[in-house]
A and B are shown apart, each in its own frame.
Chain A
Amino acid sequence: MLTTQILYALAGCVLLALGVRGALLHASVLLRIVAINIMGAGVFLLLIAVAYRGPGLAADPVPHALVLTGIVVAVSATALALALARRLQVERDDG
């Protein structure tokens, strides 16, 4: 169904917009990291919608490969962000 594809794509766009808003407006580091991950989820959903070719047909593998790579990158970037945020927290606690 075409509407399924559009539904997924629209949901992706909404998540992307919510993520951008959160990343720009939140003051807390943790919330901003979560917001950027939501943004990432939106982009991935958009790419999954792009891969859909119709019922019964195999999905386009290229966007799937993009999503997989994107997830790996997002996980490592989140890990680095959390590590930096934690170091900042520790230094703050030490005074």
Chain B
Amino acid sequence: MADTPIWLVALPLAGALAALLLPRLATAAAIVTGLLTTVAAGVLLFGVATQGALHYEIGGWTAGLGIMLRADGLSTLLLLMTALVVLAASIYASTYFRKTYERARFWPLWLLLWTSLNALLLSGDLFNIYVTLELLGLSAVALASLGGKRAAVEAALRYLLVGLLGSMLFLAGVGLIYAGYGTLDLTVLARVLEPGPVAWPALALMSSGLLLKTALFPLHFWLPPAHASAPAPVSAVLSALVVKAAFYLVLRLWLDVFANVITPASANLLGLLGAGAVLWGSWQALRAERLKLLAAYSTVAQLGYLFLFFPLLLALPAGPDRDLAAGGLAMLALTHGFAKAGLFLAIGIIQQRCGHDTIRELDGTAQHLPATTFAIALAGVALVGLPPSGAFLGKWQLLAGAVDTGQWWWLVVTVAGSLLAAAYIFRVLGHAFGHRPYPNQPVTVAREEWPALLLSAMAALVLGLAGAPVWGLLEIST
């Protein structure tokens, strides 16, 4: 049990090497790796739930010189979500890429992306985080460029340059921290960091790098083209997981490591940018002409909600109310991960079966692809935040926190954003259910449609109805 963390990194890495060396067996290797890694994530969750946070020293080297892997409640939840989303997207990708050379290029990068996501979520020191951020960025960019069209390459190049800018800013902050405190270990830093001339600029540098990577408004400009022009399974993982990895780091830094350093003004600034993201992202999603662009702008908006929690968490005193709000934040992040992945996979099916993803021309889709349309509707329920989705619980905590702390303006933003989300989802469904006198034959393709359906159902039903353990798990911290 104690060495499960290393399996979460080693298994996908071994799978990536196998897929690289044996291109003919790449798909099979990836699916087997996916199943094994998902089991490992489940075992880890069980271990953390029963024994508390896990620590693993790679090669027996202690922290300082060696690399320490850590798993607590929050990281384990995200690891399990990552595993489920990547596994579902892998099953979809095994039908999406039909040519052998496409598969040979896709699978090694895909499994490397998973490796770096898991390593990032398990990292316990700042430098390891920098390295995994770079690995994540490089594999994500290479995957995003696989679309092959000029727009995809252009978007991938911009994604890469923005990512590099972000990581260099982050590394500069890491350097400052080491100069000031002589350690990079997150738990040690959380004890010794004090407000002052080292911590403030370091936090500013690291946060601006991470906010660039997590595409917080107005630094989101690179996200819509990159996510909208990538192949469908890649878009799903980029939107659901990769931006969230950077968000996870912001959360770790602001709430754990730099907790003594944060001022209410800085938390309000994050909240304000989040509010901008909610309104601007939802508005752009409403105006989008293509489904993929709609989904990408919706990601910008959904990330905004997560940042609205920062001023509330800072204003709430430590206690049950704060724990409830923190659980709401995690719930919203998890729901968005599943829902957005399901949405992107469903859009991929529409794109392949209908040959386009123009919203205006979707009429008759509900007759042609009933299961896929249902998956989009379920994902929509979760994105709007209707009950019984997990997002409903998350947004409820957001509203409760806003009322409790007397910061009613966040309440207005949340309501406006949810109305806009309902508008852009119903706009899609309105077209999809539009009647066409001679529609194409109804098609259901189990292997293509199941992953999207299961992911959307996870977001819209499972998390909302059986999500209570999330709050309990979050209390397990290092």
Chain B residues with Cβ below 8 Å from A73 are 131, 134, 167
CB-based nearest B residue for A66? B127
Q: Which chain A residues have a beta carbon within 8 Å of chain B's beta carbons?
A: 16, 19-20, 23-24, 29, 32-33, 36, 39-40, 42-43, 46-47, 50, 62-63, 66, 69-70, 73, 76-77, 80-81, 84-85, 87-88, 91-92
Looking at the assembled complex, report how far the CB atom of B234 sits from the nearest CB atom of chain A, in whole angstroms: 15
- Which B389-445 residues sit within 8 Å CB-CB of chain A? none
Q: Are A36 and B138 in contact (CB under 8 A)?
A: no
The answer to whether A50 and B178 touch across the interface, beta carbons within 8 angstroms, is yes
Q: Of the listed stretches B22-30, B150-158, B311-319, B455-463, name the one at the interface; the rest are far from the partner chain.
A: B150-158
Q: Do the beta carbons of B142 and A36 come within 8 Å of each other?
A: no
Q: Which residues of B contact A46 (CB under 8 A)?
A: 172, 175-176
Q: Interface residues of A: mostly helix, strand, loop or mixed?
A: helix
Closest CB of chain A to B175's CB: distance in Å? 5
List 21 A-B pairs, Cβ < 8 Å.
A19-B168, A23-B161, A23-B165, A36-B165, A36-B168, A39-B168, A46-B172, A46-B176, A50-B175, A62-B184, A66-B171, A70-B130, A70-B171, A73-B167, A77-B164, A80-B160, A81-B157, A81-B161, A84-B160, A87-B153, A88-B153
Q: Which residues of B contact A (CB under 8 A)?
A: 127, 130-131, 134, 137-138, 141-142, 145, 150, 153-154, 156-157, 160-161, 164-165, 167-169, 171-172, 174-176, 178-179, 184
Interchain nearest-CB distance for A70 vs B (Å) = 6
User: In the complex, A33 Cα to B130 Cα: how many Å?
Assistant: 19
Query: Are B153 and A36 in contact, with the CB atoms below 8 A?
Result: no
* Chain B nearest CB, measured from A86 CB (Å): 10
CB-nearest residue of chain B to A48: B175
**In the complex, chain B residues whose CB is within 8 Å of the CB of A32:** 161
CB nearest neighbor in A for B173: A43
Q: A43-B171, A62-B184 are in contact. List 4 more A-B contacts (CB 8 A).
A: A16-B168, A81-B157, A84-B145, A91-B153
In contact, A77 and B178 (Cβ under 8 angstroms): no
Complex CA–CA separation, A24 to B221 (angstroms):
13
CB contacts (< 8 Å) of B157 on chain A: these are 29, 81, 84-85, 88
Residues of chain A with a CB closer than 8 A to B161's CB = 23, 29, 32-33, 36, 81
In the complex, residue of chain B having the shortest beta-carbon distance to the beta carbon of A62: B178
Which of A47, A77, A87 has a CB less than 8 Å from the CB of B134? Answer: A77
Q: How far is the CA of A71 from the CA of B156 in the complex (A)?
A: 22
